[in-house]
């Protein structure tokens, strides 16, 4: 190329290409070393803590609570030690967990298969189901009950229209707890607690007494006021 012509010579272009390539290579090496260097102790600790916190065992429970894990590891929850040790049983459509304390049989079943009776007196044929359309506990009366109340009665014949039960507390739709009082004597009776966990229904019966009567809890009983709060916490732990 003549000296008075404008532009770059071939040699100058090659020099520019080489310089740009060297700058890019050095930049890539620096970037790669920065991203692949070992984590600092603090960063490593934070990473381990994050991984640990995602595990179910990392959920903090009170000192007087304990964990229960089903034999097949499909169900895990924490509950108060005062409820007694739970023994797992598996039935056709639901799992049950028996205890010898004031808490009765804890039952976990699917919403579509949920069906239970809470007698409030003789010849009471009210049944409880899960209303999937409203995602709520509902009650329905058997319109064709047995003529003899002493007869074997394990399931309803013809349930009438279902009516949703008002929740004991409701933080959001689909996260509510229900309390239904069964039959009992004096100021004591069997209280039934129901709540949903995703597509499951958990049913907890408890033999409880209120403090507004003369009868005090005997063996296998407890005060209702002392159980309601742990039952709410139980909801939280089994859901998590």
The DSSP bridge partners found for residue 103 are 206
In a domain, 136, yes or no: no
Q: What is residue 195's three-state secondary structure?
A: strand
Half-sphere exposure of 124 (CA within 13 A, CB side): 14
Question: How far is 141 from 126, CA to CA, in rounded Å?
Answer: 4
Q: How many domains does the chain have?
A: 1
Whether the per-residue pLDDT at 84 is higher than 50: the answer is yes
Whether the per-residue pLDDT at 128 is higher than 80: the answer is yes
Beta strands per DSSP E along the chain: 65-69, 76-80, 87-90, 94-98, 106-110, 115-117, 126-131, 136-141, 163-164, 169-172, 175-181, 188-197, 200-209, 222-223
In a domain, 59, yes or no: no
In a domain, 148, yes or no: no
* Residue 137 confidence class, pLDDT cut points 50, 70, 90: very high
Percent above pLDDT 70 for the chain? 75
Which tokens in the block code for residue 151? 């007869």
pLDDT of the residue at 136? 92
Which segment of 7-21, 40-54, 99-113, 123-137 scores lowest on mean pLDDT? Answer: 40-54
What is the average pLDDT value for the chain, to the nearest integer?
A: 79
Whether the per-residue pLDDT at 164 is higher than 90: the answer is yes
In a domain, 105, yes or no: yes
In a domain, 157, yes or no: no
Which tokens in the block code for residue 207? 């033999």
The parent domain of residue 215 ranges over 64-121+166-239
Q: What is the CATH number of the domain that holds 230?
A: 2.60.120
Q: Which residue has the tokens 């916190």?
A: 53
Task: Read off the pTM.
Answer: 0.70
In a domain, 160, yes or no: no
In a domain, 220, yes or no: yes
């Amino acid at each position: 190329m003549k000296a008075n012509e404008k532009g770059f010579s071939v040699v100058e272009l090659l020099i520019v290409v080489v310089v740009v390539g060297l700058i890019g290579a050095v930049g890539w090496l620096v970037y790669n070393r920065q991203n692949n260097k070992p984590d600092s102790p603090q960063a490593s600790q934070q990473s381990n803590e994050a991984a640990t916190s995602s595990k179910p065992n990392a959920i903090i429970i009170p000192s007087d609570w304990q964990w229960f894990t089903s034999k097949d590891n499909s169900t895990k929850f924490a509950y108060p030690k005062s409820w007694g040790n739970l023994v797992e049983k598996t039935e056709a459509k639901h799992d049950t967990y028996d205890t010898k304390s004031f808490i009765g049989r804890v039952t976990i079943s699917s919403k579509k298969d949920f069906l239970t009776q809470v007698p409030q007196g003789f010849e009471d044929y009210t049944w409880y189901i899960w209303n999937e359309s409203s995602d709520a506990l509902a009650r329905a009366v058997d319109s064709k009950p047995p003529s003899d109340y002493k007869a074997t009665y394990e399931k309803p014949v013809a349930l009438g229209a279902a009516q949703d039960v008002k929740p004991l507390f409701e933080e959001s739709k689909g996260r509510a707890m229900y309390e239904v009082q069964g039959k009992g004597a004096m100021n004591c009776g069997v209280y039934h607690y129901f709540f949903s966990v995703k597509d499951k229904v958990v049913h907890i019966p408890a033999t409880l007494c209120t403090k507004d009567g003369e009868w005090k809890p005997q063996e296998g009983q407890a005060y209702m006021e002392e159980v309601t709060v742990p039952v709410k916490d139980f909801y939280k732990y089994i859901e998590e």
